[in-house]
Chains A and B, each alone.
Chain A
Amino acid sequence: MVDFKLSDEHEALRQTVREFAAKEIAPVIGDYYERHAFPYEIIAKMGEMGLFGLPFPEEYGGMGGDYFALCLALEEIARVDSSVSITLEAAISLGAMPIYRFGTEEQKKQYLPDLLSGRKLAAFGLTEPGTGSDAGGTMTRAELSEDGTEWIINGSKAFITNSGTDISTLVTVTAVTGIKENGKKEISSIIVPHGTPGFTVAPGYSKVGWCASDTHELTFDNVRVPVGNLVGEQGRGYAQFLRILDEGRIAISALAVGLAQGCVDESVKYAKERHAFGQPIANYQAVQFKIADMELRAHTSRLAYYDAAARMLAGEDFKRQAAIAKLYSSEAATTSARECAQIHGGYGFMNEFPAGRFYRDAKILEIGEGTSEVQRMLIARDLLS
């Protein structure tokens, strides 16, 4: 039996987050965005209601929910604002998840309570100035110190989300820790706490969108951390981030669906209010069809991510479905954001309307956590292999 109906608990969560987004984010986020300021106050409130612990068990301070609960929260937040949604997405699926999935019991006990409460943020550093899609091209190196007690890390990472806020506490970086028998680089993940000597966070980028989210370039100059900061086994870094990115795609898809749905919300509202040639523009078929297509994209994208999430939670292979969901929903989001701005006319080009913000925020969805081209490669590879 196919069933896309949400459970009572998931539905209650969705409504609660929706109410939160409408009351606590929508009225104030435009101002943070304009100032390129990180919304600490909103993040603190989200921490209080347990959003940062959603998909984690209670023993580490989590809410005992599942990844689907996280996706619903991301969708409802992105319906109002993407900067806040990506902050939550990155904090959980890139920040806390690698430690939860691959860390030692000691690492989990040390880091997760702060991360899952939203008091602290963790980041994940994979992308480098010279390489993104081609993760095998990682240049950052980690070598063991002579006495074998420390990793010495050198290199830099680019575009790292949540890495430079006042509450950023650590970044898990991927680094080359040797050469494998087949001549390929051996990649491992290592936790680098903020404040470690030699670890520098550059000032925030000037971004086209996601202006209230936190993104920095990081440099590592002979940064020494204890060997115990290795996450999981040495040499498993590549496999680890593939898993992290696979599930992260479902989360990004949920975020994209939220943005696409937000475009419907804003367009419906505006089209009824705005008059041209003596009647509401909602009366014109050209506008109606745009709105119908927007809803079509939001709805079908949502089904795609529900399907990928359901497979993942059932323990089935979900890689292709996650790639499909991410690809389809991010392209849906950019198309809908463009149409939403169009329906808003000149106001669609103004930052004071959500439509303008949606337009600026949509593009990155086709780039981050695997570009659209990479998703197509993954889907094709899965079909042709």
Chain B
Amino acid sequence: MKIVVLVKQVPDSGSERSLRADDGTVDRASASNVINEMDEYAIEEALKIAEAQGGEVTLLTMGPDAATESIRKALSMGPDGAVHVTDDALHGSCALGTSKVLAAALRTLEFDLVLCGAESTDGRTQTMPHMLAERLGVPALTGARKLTVEGSTLTVERQTDEGYEVVQATGPAIVSVWDTINEPRYPSFKGIMAAKKKPIATKSLADLGVEAGEVGLAGATSKVLSSAKRPARSGGQKVEDSGNGGADLVAYLSAEKFV
């Protein structure tokens, strides 16, 4: 089974993140960049399938040169190799532009299954699997908390607010996963050393036959006009108990959709 996992390098969601003042794109230079957290679950799922059924796992990343660091780290978990699409013209690509590039890259790869995280912690659009499915003419099973592969039949439990739905498709297909699906492994030292020698194929837009003007800031279909820092936390809401504090508490929790 040939599995491709989409991996994105993002600014660490655990530390201060910001947008660049000049063009409103994510400030990568001043952030500490990491593998998008949800992608680690996609990698783990791919490795588990490949370990159980045999197969090959390839990572696909679109991002600046510096993303190589995250690719090496992801490779140390166990995948066989990676494709890194990098090109100066890609800076500022919107989700549609990104999907155009990733689809073009996927067309150059053989795959039975494409796995990705349900969302990235910077963009958070959750749209990539749908866009790729449309461009490639394959089914998308999104938001999986469980994935079963039997031959070319893919069955997922799709996580919803109320519970889950069981959805099925015939591969090749795209599956996006939530962090409920597994527990990603930590790389071993053997994995770390092996990652150094694994192939990372670098591709430019020209290699993929994508016009520079269709992607990046130039081709972006959306644009950040202005942005502001999230306001500091306010004091919160105090529920005083004057007889029906319990009910007030429940009312608040359900209004906020905690229960």
Contact = CB atoms under 8 A, between A and B. Distances in A.
Given A8-B196, A9-B196, A64 B189 contact: yes
Interface stretch (A47-55, A268-276, A354-362, A377-385): A47-55
A9 B189 CA distance: 8
B188 interface: yes
Contacts of B76: 12, 16
Contacts of B196: 8-9
Nearest to A50: B188
A127 B191 CA distance: 37
A65 interface: yes
B191 to A, nearest CB: 8
A23 to B, nearest CB: 9
B192 interface: yes
B251 interface: no
A50 B190 contact: yes
A17 B191 CA distance: 13
B166 interface: no
Nearest to A64: B190
A365 interface: no
A20 B186 contact: yes
Given A12-B73, A12-B76, A64 B185 contact: no
Interface residues of A, number: 17
Interface string A1-44: 00000001100110010011000000000000000000000000
B185 A13 contact: no
Contacts of A49: 185-188
Contacts of B193: 9, 64-65
A9 B197 CA distance: 12
Nearest to A49: B186
A176 interface: no
Interface in A207-246: none
B186 A63 contact: no
Interface in B155-205: 185-193, 196
A112 interface: no
A260 interface: no
Task: Among A9, A20, A45, find the residue whose CB has the most chain B CB atoms closer than 10 A.
Answer: A9
Interface string A326-356: 0000000000000000000000000000000
B27 to A, nearest CB: 22
B36 to A, nearest CB: 15
Nearest to B183: A45
A69 interface: yes
B190 A13 contact: no
B188 A63 contact: yes
Contacts of B187: 12, 16, 49
A63 B189 contact: yes
Contacts of B188: 49-50, 63
Contacts of B185: 48-49
Nearest to B190: A63
B110 to A, nearest CB: 30
Task: Among B76, B185, B188, B189, find the residue whose CB has the most chain A CB atoms closer than 10 A.
Answer: B189
A20 B191 CA distance: 15
Interface in A190-209: none
B242 to A, nearest CB: 33
A210 B25 CA distance: 49
Contacts of A54: 189
A350 to B, nearest CB: 27
Contact of B192 (A13, A48, A58): A13
Nearest to A66: B189
A16 B73 CA distance: 9
Interface string B61-76: 0000000000011001
